[in-house]
Amino acid sequence: MNELHVTRARGRPVTPPADRRAALLAAFARESWAPGGPPALTDANADRLRDADAARLTDADADRLAEVAAELHPAFSGDVTALNQALVRHAAVPNLHGDPPALAFHAPGAELADAWAADAATALAMVIGVGQGRRLRSCEAEGCELVFFDVTRNASRRFCGLPCQNRAKASAYRARRRT
């Protein structure tokens, strides 16, 4: 989501990538994530699944996923209206398909972008639905739109990372010194 939608990160303007497909594949590689893969992936399986999805992911899919990222971004600030609309628009419905059967939240024949959008929207809805919506956060630093899932014990994380936290603390320190 951050790679495709954000226009300000860590206090600086960023331009969403022109080649969204390449940005998605780079993010998958960086996170060692294989879309649609089982939870416990071996390195060989992850590479195989990532390569298979890379072959299926088109530029049009990547463009549609950028739109989905923009659509789901408000959910990280507690706005669930767009999230509900995304669940309907992308036909999110739980079902088992594949061999062995895997739980998915998209129809077995769904287009790639719709399948990923339905699964992502459902994941966000499940986090919110079980009372953990406060863990879906937007960075509180000035000039940063990055979103993250807060995994701290008491859900107290306020910034996407140390650069933003350090900038915010330095800014607050300078403001106190001026008064």
Helix/strand/coil percent split, the chain, to 5: 55, 10, 35
Q: What is the rounded average pLDDT of the residues 160-165?
A: 93
Kindly tell me if the per-residue pLDDT of 16 is higher than 70: yes
Report whether the peptide linkage leading into residue 100 is cis, meaning its omega lies within 30 degrees of zero. yes
Residues in the chain: 179
pTM here?
0.76
| Helix residue spans in the chain (DSSP H) | 2-5, 20-31, 43-56, 59-72, 81-89, 112-127, 162-178
Which segment of 30-39, 50-59, 163-172 scores lowest on mean pLDDT? 30-39
Q: Write the pLDDT tens digit of every residue in 104-147.
A: 999 888 899 999 999 999 999 999 999 999 999 999 999 999 99
At residue 178, the pLDDT reads: 82
**Residues 120 and 75 sit within 8 Å (Cβ to Cβ):** no
Confidence of residue 53 (pLDDT cuts 50, 70, 90): low
Kindly tell me if the per-residue pLDDT of 78 is higher than 90: no
Q: What percent of the chain has pLDDT over 70?
A: 87
At residue 45, the pLDDT reads: 47
- Distances in Å between the Cα of 162 and the Cα atoms of 6, 120, 166, 168, 175 are 18, 26, 6, 10, 20
**Residues 150 and 137 sit within 8 Å (Cβ to Cβ):** yes
Kindly tell me if the per-residue pLDDT of 40 is higher than 60: no
Longest dimension (CA), the chain: 66
